[in-house]
Amino acid sequence: MAGLLLTPFYAGLTVFIYVLLGLIGVPIFAGLTGGFQSVLKPSFGFLIAFIIGAAFISKFAHGEKNFGKIMVVLVLAEVIFYVIGLPYMDYILNVVMGKGMDISKVFWVGMIPFIIPDIVKAIVAAIIAPRILKAIK
């Protein structure tokens, strides 16, 4: 939502601050965790991707009212999330943790269970973000 509601700079900055707060120990990551050790979690690459994705979404969809255009941008942002998050997950699982997972298993763990929920959240965001922007203007 940050990308749909804020300008690119502030969308990226907001998510960057969220990640920074988590890294300094505020328990705001999944499972109420935080701390610098979070960089060694397989999912941390997605947090990095969210910073880039928020700015990307804002650059191409901030203030947009057309549902279809918003959805295209949100789907492309999902691609960004997975292109950054999955290789990071693969590296942590296989190089750092020595799990020996092949790439298909990494996809099954890091992407497949999230595709449908991500699409549902994107649809909801594409519907409500223009209404929120209209209400606050």
Q: 85: domain CATH number?
A: 1.10.1760.20
pLDDT, residue 41, reads 97
Please give the structure tokens belonging to residue 38: 């979070």
* Cα separation, 133 vs 65, whole angstroms: 10
Q: How many domains are there within the chain?
A: 1
Q: What is the DSSP letter of 29?
A: B
Quickly count: other Cβ atoms within 10 Å of residue 45's Cβ. 23
Burial bucket for residue 80 (CB in 10 Å: 0-12, 13-18, 19+): middle
How many Cβ atoms sit within 10 Å of the Cβ of residue 90?
21
Partner residues linked to 33 by β-bridges: 29
Smallest Cα–Cα separation from 53: which of 120, 19, 8?
A: 8
Rounded mean pLDDT for each run of 10 residues along the chain, 137 residues in total: 94 98 96 95 98 97 94 98 98 96 94 96 96 90
Segments forming the whole domain that contains residue 110: 2-136
Predicted pLDDT of residue 129: 95
Cα 72 from Cα 7, distance rounded (Å): 18
Q: What is the pLDDT of residue 137?
A: 78
Rounded (10°) CA dihedral 12, 15, 17, 20: -120
Residues pairing with 29 in the sheet:
33
Q: What is the pLDDT of residue 96?
A: 96
> Greatest CA span in the chain, whole angstroms?
52
